[in-house]
Each structure stands twice: as structure tokens, then as C-alpha cells.
């Protein structure tokens, strides 16, 4: 087989994978109305016969403290942007140095796109795919629906997915009954859910949760997009 033919085959395979991925994004985005979405991490654990704890609950069955805590911690302009926070991305680019950006700019829709359609490792390719997927999901889902899905697919520990499973595991209660403090601890554990235990917080996690609680009080007026 000639080099030109091999190249054409690789291009065709690449285009096929892209089309397959686009189809999956469209189909899974629309199937939310029928089947509760699951993350690629959950699928990976099922395929390797590992346990998964997850009970899908509607946003009405989750304490309002938790979406406010997550929005304040992870995506402060959640109600303003349309899937991608271009202001945050510009700030990250401007603040980056020769070693690359010191922080990320992932919005909640971008994290949902990563959880549902992409792989967990960091790369520019994955980040590039997150953006169009997040824009699409923001177009077809309301802010309440997006937050509900995020809180039901987020990883909160080894094999623990979603707010209900996390609340039951760490606080022995339903997600509906989480206090402001417990919500802040759960939200601040998200950046490193395999090492941060909300039930046995380190002094650093306690301090981060305390700071977040203070910010939540001021952020409450900006969470109107989460109201029914």
C-alpha cells in the first residue's frame, strides 16, 4: 500500500471518528429527555466490573445550597455565559507564561461535556472538543437542566457519582437535606474528589469551605437562572 493511500485511509478514519463523536454528542444531548445521562467514567467502571454508586435525582430533590456552592466555586458567571466563559478564557491566556496557563477556565457546561463525551486526562485536543460540545449543550438544555445533570454525574470519590450518592456516603443523609456547610465541603472537594474527603476534611479543606460559604452569601442574587 502506498504512502498516499495510507494517508487517505487515516484521514477517512479520523473523519469517521469525528462524525461518530458528533453523532454521540447530538444523540446523548437529546436523549436526556428519556434516559438519565451517565459519564464516561461511570461507563468505564461498569465495563471493567467496578462498582458505581449513583442515584439520579431531580434538582428539586437537591438542597439549593449545593448548586449555589458549585456555581460559586466552579463557574461564577454561570447564569451569564452561553456554555463558554470567554472572559475567563481571555484572562487565563493573558495570565499564562512560558510554562502554560496556571489555572483553567472550564465552565459547568464544559465540565458536563467532558464528563459525558470525553476522557479525563488533560490535553489541548480534549479542551478543543469541550468548547463546541458545551455550546451545543447550552443551546438545548436550560441552566436548571444543565446543573441537574452536572450534579448527577460529577465524581465525588472512588466510584461515587452524583450529589445523592455523595450525600449518603459522606453525611448519611439525602442530598435534599444538605446544610450550607456540607454543600461547601462537597463543592470544594470537586477539584480533587479522590483525595478530598468532605466527611473528614483537612484543615485546608475546612478553610476553603469556609471561604466559599462567605462567597455564597454574596453570590445568591446571581443564581436566578436556577429558579424553576
Q: Does the pLDDT at position 207 exceed 70?
A: yes
> pLDDT band at residue 34, thresholds of 50, 70 and 90?
low
Contact 46, 53 (CB under 8 A): no
Q: Does the pLDDT at position 16 exceed 70?
A: no
Distance CA 175, CA 163 (A): 6
> pLDDT band at residue 10, thresholds of 50, 70 and 90?
very low
Which pTM value belongs to this model?
0.82
Contact 210, 204 (CB under 8 A): no
Residue spans of the domains in the chain: they are 1-31, 37-226
Structural Rg of the chain based on CA atoms:
19
Q: Does the pLDDT at position 63 exceed 50?
A: yes
Contact 115, 156 (CB under 8 A): no
Mean pLDDT of 19-47: 69
**CATH for 37-226 (1.10.3810.10, 3.40.190.10, 1.10.10.10, 1.10.3720.10):** 1.10.3810.10
Amino acid at each position: 500500500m502506498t504512502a498516499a493511500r495510507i494517508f487517505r485511509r487515516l484521514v477517512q478514519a479520523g473523519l469517521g471518528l469525528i462524525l461518530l463523536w458528533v453523532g454521540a454528542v447530538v444523540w446523548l444531548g437529546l436523549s436526556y429527555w428519556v434516559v438519565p445521562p451517565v459519564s464516561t467514567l461511570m461507563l468505564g467502571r461498569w465495563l471493567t466490573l467496578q462498582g458505581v454508586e449513583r442515584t439520579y435525582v431531580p434538582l428539586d430533590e437537591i438542597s439549593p445550597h449545593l448548586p449555589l456552592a458549585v456555581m460559586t466555586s466552579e463557574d461564577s458567571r454561570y447564569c451569564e455565559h452561553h456554555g463558554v466563559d470567554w472572559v475567563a478564557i481571555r484572562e487565563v491566556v493573558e495570565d499564562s507564561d512560558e510554562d502554560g496557563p496556571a489555572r483553567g477556565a472550564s465552565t459547568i457546561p464544559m465540565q458536563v461535556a467532558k464528563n459525558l463525551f470525553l476522557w479525563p486526562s488533560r490535553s489541548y485536543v480534549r479542551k478543543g472538543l469541550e468548547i463546541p460540545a458545551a455550546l451545543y449543550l447550552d443551546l438545548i438544555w436550560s441552566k436548571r437542566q444543565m446543573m441537574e445533570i452536572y450534579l448527577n454525574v460529577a465524581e465525588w470519590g472512588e466510584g461515587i457519582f452524583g450529589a445523592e450518592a455523595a450525600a449518603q456516603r459522606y453525611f448519611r443523609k439525602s442530598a435534599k437535606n444538605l446544610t450550607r456547610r456540607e454543600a461547601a465541603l462537597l463543592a470544594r472537594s470537586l477539584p480533587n474528589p479522590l483525595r478530598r474527603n468532605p466527611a473528614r476534611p483537612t484543615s485546608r479543606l475546612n478553610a476553603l469551605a469556609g471561604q466559599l460559604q462567605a462567597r455564597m452569601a454574596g453570590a445568591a442574587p446571581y443564581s436566578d437562572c436556577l429558579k424553576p
